[in-house]
């Protein structure tokens, strides 16, 4: 969306020096179209979706595939129908697919089983090869992951994430974006991240250019925690050291740092920065770890294959309402049922996703081959990178922060150049990064430079 006519300030060298510590970039005011979409996200729709998914009794990956009323097959077909409905409403703007595969026997798969990812793709207008993926898992479990018969409502885990993805598809399919957004709901999460692994592996095989992936898993904001101060924030988990780090990269990291600067960590910073521009009362809480203790999620197969990814999850989990056979025991009710989901909270999580995805898909691609030049010993910092090919590119920001700081604190728009020397700021004393900026002021995530000659 290019609703803004941006004024790009072309500064003389002297003016650049005079404003060296300021932020002379194009627009940083919120995009009104994103603000409008944020308002369109509906807690009522999300509630209806969660209740519908729960109505299938169980969505265990091993449950019925061909019963129209009960089991994972009924859920699969209903989600597919929802995506098709949205597509019909936008002139077939979505490519809606059932991506089926036969999962061989595995730890939690006693017999070979067909699994089906339900995928809706909103193709980008100017850079369709650049892809952003948002997911939720539509399978569920009771106390046992391989019990296909027990009721497994899975309202929070993970009808909440699935409903988030469906609501995002509804709102975002009414718009156009530069890059492609893939809305995906997957099964087999509880069986070992199987649906997500299949998608990530296919993406790797076909060299899909996934610049970011978000999994929404347990985003219901359980109602038993309503008094908690954490009601107004959501956790975004990101790994610091890349899951696919090479030995050479590890050596560099041990030598000069960078353990807080993986592409996934930059993505988490981006989500927070963008959400802060639009949401006053709901915040992103960055968690500097790949996932919680004893738990894993659908972002991990993407990370392992080199795609930047983050996990989005509520703050105060209530384990009496996750992975529990529905029952009352010693006066305590167990079960992941809808009355423990706060639909307004889920809507806020959907808004965080929407802001991040729309900002990413409107922005230029991340700059490639960003390097910090280590040829000479100097107290200036020399950076270089490859030119972007985005038609609406305005230029680049060089950003920096103190080595102990969590977020980027300084930024300078340096124009449409492919190298820049930051005067009198030593690379030994700060972390630097580069991001691309378009004429409307949309920014890519920051790329952390690798040492180069
Ligand atoms: Zn889950």
Q: What is the pLDDT of residue 274?
A: 97
For residue 58, the CA-to-ligand 1 centroid distance in Å is 14
For residues 49 and 162, is the Cβ–Cβ distance under 8 A? yes
Per-residue pLDDT of the chain (453 residues; tens, 9 = 90+): 444 333 333 333 333 333 343 444 555 679 999 999 999 999 999 999 999 999 999 999 999 999 999 999 999 999 999 999 999 999 999 999 999 999 999 999 999 999 999 999 999 999 999 999 999 999 999 999 999 999 999 999 999 999 999 999 999 999 999 999 999 999 999 999 999 999 999 999 999 999 999 999 999 987 887 788 889 999 999 999 999 999 999 999 999 999 999 999 999 999 999 999 999 999 999 999 999 998 999 999 999 999 999 999 999 988 999 999 999 999 999 999 999 999 999 999 999 999 999 999 999 999 999 999 999 899 999 999 999 999 999 999 999 999 999 999 999 999 999 999 999 999 999 999 999 999 999 999 999 999 998
Specify whether the backbone of 205 is left (phi greater than 0), alpha (psi in -120 to 50) or beta.
alpha
Burial 84-109, CB ≥16 within 10 A → b, else e: eebbeebeebbebeeeebebeeeebb
Report the first-to-last Cα separation within the chain, whole angstroms: 38
For residue 107, the CA-to-ligand 1 centroid distance in Å is 17
For residue 140, the CA-to-ligand 1 centroid distance in Å is 8
Q: What is the pLDDT of residue 10?
A: 36
In sequence order, what DSSP letters do the residues of 76-140 get, joined into one string? Answer: HHHHHHHHHHHHHHTTS-EEEEEEEEEEPPBTTBSS-EEEEEEEEEE--SSEEEEEEEEEEE---
User: Which residues, at least 6 apart from 15, have a Cβ–Cβ distance to it below 8 Å?
Assistant: none
For residue 137, the CA-to-ligand 1 centroid distance in Å is 7
Q: Residues lining ligand 1 (ion), CB within 5 A?
A: 157-158, 217
For residue 225, the CA-to-ligand 1 centroid distance in Å is 19
User: Which residues, at least 6 apart from 36, have a Cβ–Cβ distance to it below 8 Å?
Assistant: none
For residue 447, the CA-to-ligand 1 centroid distance in Å is 30
Q: How does pLDDT run across 124-179, given as a tens digit for each residue? A: 999 999 999 999 999 999 999 999 999 999 999 999 999 999 999 999 999 999 99
Q: Where are any strands of DSSP class E within 187-300?
A: 209-216, 233-237, 283-287
- Residue located via tokens 């700021």: 425
Reading the block at residue 52, the tokens are: 């519908």
CA gap 308, 240 in Å, rounded? 11
For residue 188, the CA-to-ligand 1 centroid distance in Å is 10
Q: Where are any strands of DSSP class E within 126-248?
A: 127-137, 179-186, 209-216, 233-237
For residue 297, the CA-to-ligand 1 centroid distance in Å is 7
For residue 319, the CA-to-ligand 1 centroid distance in Å is 12
For residues 123 and 180, is the Cβ–Cβ distance under 8 A? yes
CA 115 to chain centre: 23
In sequence order, what DSSP letters do the residues of 321-358 get, joined into one string? Answer: GSS--SEEETTEEE---GGG--HHHHHHHHHHHHHHHH
For residue 244, the CA-to-ligand 1 centroid distance in Å is 23
For residue 148, the CA-to-ligand 1 centroid distance in Å is 17
For residue 358, the CA-to-ligand 1 centroid distance in Å is 25
CA gap 449, 453 in Å, rounded? 12
Beta partners for 99? 117
The alpha carbons of the chain give a radius of gyration, in whole angstroms, of: 22
CA 48 to chain centre: 24
For residue 141, the CA-to-ligand 1 centroid distance in Å is 9
At 295, is the secondary structure helix, strand, or coil? coil
For residue 215, the CA-to-ligand 1 centroid distance in Å is 10
For residue 199, the CA-to-ligand 1 centroid distance in Å is 17
Q: What is the pLDDT of residue 22?
A: 42
For residue 233, the CA-to-ligand 1 centroid distance in Å is 19
For residues 137 and 199, is the Cβ–Cβ distance under 8 A? no
């Amino acid at each position: 969306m290019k609703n803004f006519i941006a004024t790009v300030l072309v500064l003389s060298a002297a003016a650049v020096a005079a404003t060296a510590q300021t932020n002379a970039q194009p627009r940083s005011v919120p995009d009104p179209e994103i603000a409008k979409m944020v308002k369109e996200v509906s807690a009522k729709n999300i509630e209806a979706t969660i209740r519908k998914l729960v109505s299938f009794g169980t969505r265990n990956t091993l449950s019925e595939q061909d019963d129209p009323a009960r089991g994972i097959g009924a859920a699969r077909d209903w989600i597919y129908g929802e995506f098709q409905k949205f597509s019909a409403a936008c002139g077939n703007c979505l490519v809606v697919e059932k991506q089926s595969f036969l999962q061989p026997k595995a730890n939690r798969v006693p017999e070979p089983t067909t699994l089906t990812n339900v995928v809706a793709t909103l193709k980008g207008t100017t850079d369709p090869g650049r892809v952003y993926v948002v997911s939720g898992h539509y399978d569920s479990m009771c106390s046992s992951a391989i019990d296909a018969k027990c009721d497994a409502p899975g309202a929070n885990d993970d009808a909440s994430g699935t409903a988030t993805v469906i609501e995002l598809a509804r709102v975002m399919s009414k718009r156009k974006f530069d890059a492609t957004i893939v809305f995906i709901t997957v099964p087999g999460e509880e069986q070992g991240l199987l649906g997500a692994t299949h998608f990530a592996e296919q993406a790797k095989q076909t060299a899909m250019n996934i610049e970011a992936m978000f999994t929404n898993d347990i985003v219901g904001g359980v109602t038993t925690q309503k008094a908690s101060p954490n009601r107004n924030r959501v956790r975004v988990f990101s790994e610091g050291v890349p899951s696919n780090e090479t030995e050479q990269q590890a050596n560099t990291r041990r030598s000069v740092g960078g353990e807080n600067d993986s592409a996934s960590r930059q993505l988490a910073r981006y989500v927070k920065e963008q959400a802060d521009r639009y949401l006053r009362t709901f915040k992103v809480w960055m968690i500097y770890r790949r996932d919680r203790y004893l738990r894993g999620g659908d972002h991990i197969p993407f990370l392992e294959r080199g795609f930047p990814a983050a996990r989005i999850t509520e703050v105060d989990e209530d384990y009496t309402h996750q992975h529990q056979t529905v029952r009352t025991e010693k006066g305590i009710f167990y079960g992941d049922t809808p009355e423990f989901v706060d639909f307004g909270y889920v809507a806020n999580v959907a808004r965080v996703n929407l802001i991040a995805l729309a900002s990413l898909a409107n922005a230029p691609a991340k700059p490639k081959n960003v390097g910090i030049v280590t040829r000479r010993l100097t107290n200036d910092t020399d950076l270089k990178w490859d030119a972007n090919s985005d038609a609406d590119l305005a230029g680049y920001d060089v950003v920096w922060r103190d080595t102990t700081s969590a977020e980027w604190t300084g930024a300078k728009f340096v124009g449409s150049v492919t190298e820049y020397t930051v005067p009198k700021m030593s690379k030994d004393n700060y972390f630097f990064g580069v991001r691309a900026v378009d004429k409307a002021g949309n920014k890519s995530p920051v790329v952390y430079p690798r040492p180069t000659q």
